[in-house]
Copies of this chain bind each other. A is one copy, B any other.
């Protein structure tokens, strides 16, 4: 599935937030990036169903890439259920100024984070916004935030196939989407929906991460398949979307996430995913795909 950006490159043009809507050969209407943003790879993390650990996977992908030496940011597009700041223990409030918006960094690895929760007076204030406002906020997180020079900007999408994922795919020049699932049939059914939606939007699917596959008994070491037998390989075979990684349920991850210390967690199974991303992007494009607005 070739993306619009790849089509642009084939046509000898560099695509991505060019803002030249009238002249875009693919008829795309990507929102222009902030003039101080220079993002090499824009990768979205999506799940059809909520609660499969999408935000944890976004956060752990960011920490893994960061540990490998990349400059990383996270755009929290889950506007009504934002969880990224909490995972990183970021509590400072953000305010806009005439020069743009200041971006908080995670305490240890310095990962840049932008989230609707950072604008709230209290973290448990509800965000009761209708779809169009939510869509605007997500666009603004791209157009009005000076992300600076980043190797990766990870977009944590809200679950489902509603307004917010649609907006992100229509507005942001994504390099690809990673889809997170859990072993439940239900989740797998909804993942198929998500795969079809992404394909319809002509955004490349990078692969599937199956999360919450088992939990290990702390007493006897037994693996408990709490949500049923893993199905990642089956889904990969059925849909042609590669299975990038399989992750367990880990109470330690829950604990560190709850304490805002996800940076202290070292996941297994994501280093390879991070390397795969680098390889994949290297092979699909010989030039760095700068999104820097000329």
Residues of A within 8 A of B (CB): 48-52, 55, 80-81, 83, 86-87, 123-132, 134, 158-163, 166, 182-186, 189-190, 192-194, 196-197, 200, 215, 217-220, 222, 224-228, 249, 251, 254-255, 257-258
Contacts of A126 in B (CB 8 A): 161, 193-194, 196-197, 200
- Shortest A53–chain B CB gap in Å is 8
Q: Is the CB of A81 within 8 A of B258?
A: no
Interchain Cβ contacts under 8 Å between A and B, 15 examples: A48-B81, A81-B190, A124-B190, A124-B193, A126-B161, A126-B196, A126-B197, A129-B162, A130-B166, A158-B160, A184-B254, A185-B257, A186-B257, A215-B226, A218-B222
Q: Which single member of B131, B197, B228 contacts A255 (CB below 8 Å)?
A: B228
Known: A190-B81, A193-B125. A226 touches B251 (CB 8 A): yes
- The reply to whether A160 and B228 contact each other, CB–CB distance below 8 Å, is no
List the B side residues contacting A193 at CB < 8 Å.
Answer: 124-127
CA distance A50 to B48 in the complex (A): 10
User: Who on chain B is nearest to A120 by CB?
Assistant: B193
Cβ contact within 8 Å between A224 and B228: no
List, in ascending order, chain B residues with CB within 8 A of A163's CB: 130-131, 162-163
Which residues of chain B come closer than 8 Å to A190, judged between CB atoms?
A: 81, 83, 124
In the complex, are the beta carbons of B219 and A222 less than 8 A apart? Answer: yes
Partner of A186 from B128, B182, B183, B258 at Cβ < 8 Å? B258
Q: How far is the CA of A125 from the CA of B161 in the complex (A)?
A: 11
* Residues from chain B with Cβ under 8 Å of A196 in the complex: 124-126
- Which 8 A-B pairs give the minimum distances between C-beta atoms? A51-B51, A50-B50, A131-B131, A185-B258, A124-B192, A126-B193, A217-B217, A126-B197
- Nearest-neighbour CB distance to chain B for A54, whole angstroms, equals 9
Nearest chain-B residue to A190 (Cβ)? B81
Which of B50, B87, B131 touches A159 (beta carbons < 8 Å)? B50
Using known A-B contacts A129-B162, A158-B160, determine if residue A226 contacts B197 with beta carbons closer than 8 Å: no
Give the docked Cα–Cα distance between A220 and B223 (Å).
11
- Which of the listed residues A83, A158, A227 has the most CB atoms from chain B within 10 Å of its own CB? A227
Asked if A159 and B228 sit within 8 Å, CB to CB, the answer is: no
